[in-house]
Structure 1
Amino acid sequence: MKQWLTLYKKELLEMVRNYKWIWVPLTFILIAVKEPMTLYYMPQIIDSLGGLPEGAVIELPVPSAGEALAASLSQYNTLGVLIIVLITMGVIAGERKSGVAGIILVKPVSYARFVTAKWAGVMLLIWFSYFCGYFLSWYYVGILFEFISFTDFIQSFFVYGIWLTFVLTITIFFNSFLQSPGAVGFITMGITILLSLVSSSLSHLLDWSPALLSVYTNTLIMGNGFPEELMPTILISLFMIILSLFASIAIFRKRELA
């Protein structure tokens, strides 16, 4: 356990030195807060741009608080996922390519501890950044529109967080056998986009797909309660996260020993 904590602290310290504890939370906050403010001030923004016929009146439907928060969360489904992939795609592949991983593993360091320490370090950063952004988005939606139940906020926070953890774990998985961070990022984004498209197109067949967690999160935000498919989807997602993590350790050990 002491060895794992040492590796874990190393990851946290490295992210401090790379200023990730500053720019990643700030980016998540900007992504989340921008959407409700844009929706609220959209008529004024359009009016300030000009170019409308004289006497024209802008009448846009006022979104509900749930719709505003769901729109904010949808930004994480694109930009948020991209940021996660960018900050994770070289976490193991980069060290393998530079030889740092080999130097660390020459010592009596467990492969499982090496991989899980990196996974846990990045996950803490992502969940912290995600909470900061999502909480401020919930707060601004409450100020500008109407406050959503804090219970619904917490439930939706944890449900969508499982999807972000799934994306992180898939990125770690490809890190375990690819040495090019660019290849890791490209393949992970491709699989994530493909899984989201297929799951949304065939939702009646793949209603337990992890990619549909964002859809079920919107249902929670709207105050419609737990969908029937949510709990099986959460269990399957957690199982796939654990399975991918174990597979990452096994493949990484085999590649390094080879």
Structure 2
Amino acid sequence: MRQWIVLFKKEWTESVRSYKILWIPVVFILLGITQPVTSYYFADIIGQFGGLPEGAVMDIPIPTGAEVITATLGQFGQIGFLVLVLAYMGIVAKEKNHGTQILVLVKPVSYTNYLTAKWAHLLCISLGSYAMGYIAAVYYTFLLIEKMVIADLIYGGIIYGIWIAFVMTVILCLSALLNSTAFVAFAGLGLTVVLSLLSSLTPDLMTLSPAMLTSHSQNLYQTGQVGSGFGLNLAFTLVLIIGILIGTIYLFHKKEIAQHTT
């Protein structure tokens, strides 16, 4: 356990030195604030910059709180994921390319501790940043739009957080098994987009897809209930996250051993 803590602190120190611990949360907070603020002042913005004839009146209804939070999660799923993937696509691949992982693994350091420390750090930054952005979105939605059921917001936020955890686990896996950081980003973002599109276009066929968690969180905001099949979808996603992590450790270990013996 002491070895794992040392490795985790190493990851944390690197994020502090690169200011990821600062600018990633700031991006999510800005995304969280932007949606409710622009939704509330949208008519005024169009009036000022839309080039409308003098005296024209634009009556645009303010969206509901559920619509604002749903749109905010959409921003997290696009810009937020892009930021996280670009920030951590080289979490293992860069060390492999520079050979620095050898300096760590040549010592009596287990591959499990090496990768799980990175995984835990990755989730701390990504989920922590998401939580701050989500809280900012909820606060300004309450302030400008309308009050919502706190329990639904908490449960919906946790459900979407599990989707983020899945995506970041995939990024760790790709970074551990591939050497090209650009391909890690392309494959990670591509998989996210494909799963999201298939889950929205063919929900009946994708009931177990981790991306369906976004639909369940949206249903919770709008109706106060998750969609059918949520329990199985959640359980499958959690098992998939653990399975991907275990598989990553095994394949990474096997690949490193093969490289050292050749």
TM range (shorter): over 0.9
Q: Deviations over 1:84-141 (max 9, x none)?
A: 2112210000101111101100001000110000000111011111111100110000
What TM-score do you get using the length of structure 1 for normalisation? 0.97
Q: How many aligned residue pairs are there?
A: 258
Instruction: Tell me, yes or no, if the aligned pair for 2:69 and 2:138 is still in contact at 8 Å.
Output: yes
**Is 2:24–2:84's contact at 8 Å kept on the other side of the alignment?**
no
> What residue is the counterpart of 2:167 in the other structure?
167
Q: More deviation in 166-175 or 223-232?
A: 223-232
SS of the residue corresponding to residue 177 of structure 2 reads: coil
The correspondence of residues 100-111 of structure 1 with structure 2, limited to 5 A, is: 100-111=100-111
Deviates more, 1:171-180 or 1:46-55: 46-55
Amino acid across the alignment from 1:211: A
The runs of at least 4 aligned residues of structure 1 exceeding 3 Å deviation read: none
CA–CA distance in 2 between the matches of 1:135 and 1:229? 27
CA drift of 1:18 comes to: 0.7
* CA distance in structure 2 between the aligned counterparts of 1:212 and 1:132, rounded to whole angstroms: 23
Q: Give 1:156-195 correspondences, 5 Å limit.
A: 156-195=156-195
Rounded to whole Å, the distance in 2 between the matches of 1:157 and 1:50 is 34
Unpaired stretches in structure 2, ≥5 consecutive residues: none
C-alpha contact (below 8 Å) 1:134/1:157 kept by paired residues: yes
Structure 2 Cα separation of the partners of residues 47 and 26 of structure 1:
29
Mapping 1:1-258, distance limit 5 Å: 1-258=1-258
CA distance in 2, matches of 1:142, 1:182: 40
Residue identity matched to 2:78 = T
CA distance in 1 between counterparts of 2:35 and 2:65 reads: 12
Counterpart amino acid of 1:159? I
C-alpha separation between the residues in 1 aligned to 2:249 and 2:199? Answer: 28
Which stretches in structure 1 are left out of the alignment for 5+ residues? none
Indicate conservation of the 8 Å contact 2:152/2:224, yes or no: no
CA 1:103–1:207: 2 relative to 1, 3 Å: same
1:50 and 1:186 map into 2 onto residues whose CA distance is: 36
Per-residue CA distance 1:23-79 (angstroms, 9 max, x = gap) = 000000011110110010001001111521233210112211111111111101111
Contact preservation (8 Å) 1:139, 1:147: no
Please give the alpha-carbon distance, in whole angstroms, between the structure 2 residues aligned to 1:152 and 1:194.
27
Distance 1:214 1:73 in 2: 8
Contact 1:171 1:188 survives alignment (8 Å):
yes
The letter for the 2-side match of 1:225 is: Q
After superposing the two structures, state which structure 1 stretch, 132-141 or 147-156, moved more: 147-156
The residue matched to 1:176 in structure 2 has which SS? helix
| Distance (Å, rounded) in 2 between the aligned partners of 1:94 and 1:241 | 23
Q: Distance in 2 between matches of 1:174 and 1:94?
A: 12
Letter in 1 for 2:190: G
Q: CA deviation at 1:220?
A: 1.1
Q: Report % sequence identity.
A: 39
Q: What is the one-letter code of the residue matched to 2:200? A: S
- Matched to 1:234, the amino acid is L
- Check the 8 A contact 1:163/1:211 in 2, yes or no: yes
Q: Do the aligned partners of 1:152 and 1:223 also contact (CA within 8 Å) in 2?
A: no
Give, in whole Å, the separation in 1 of the partners of 2:201 and 2:254. Answer: 37
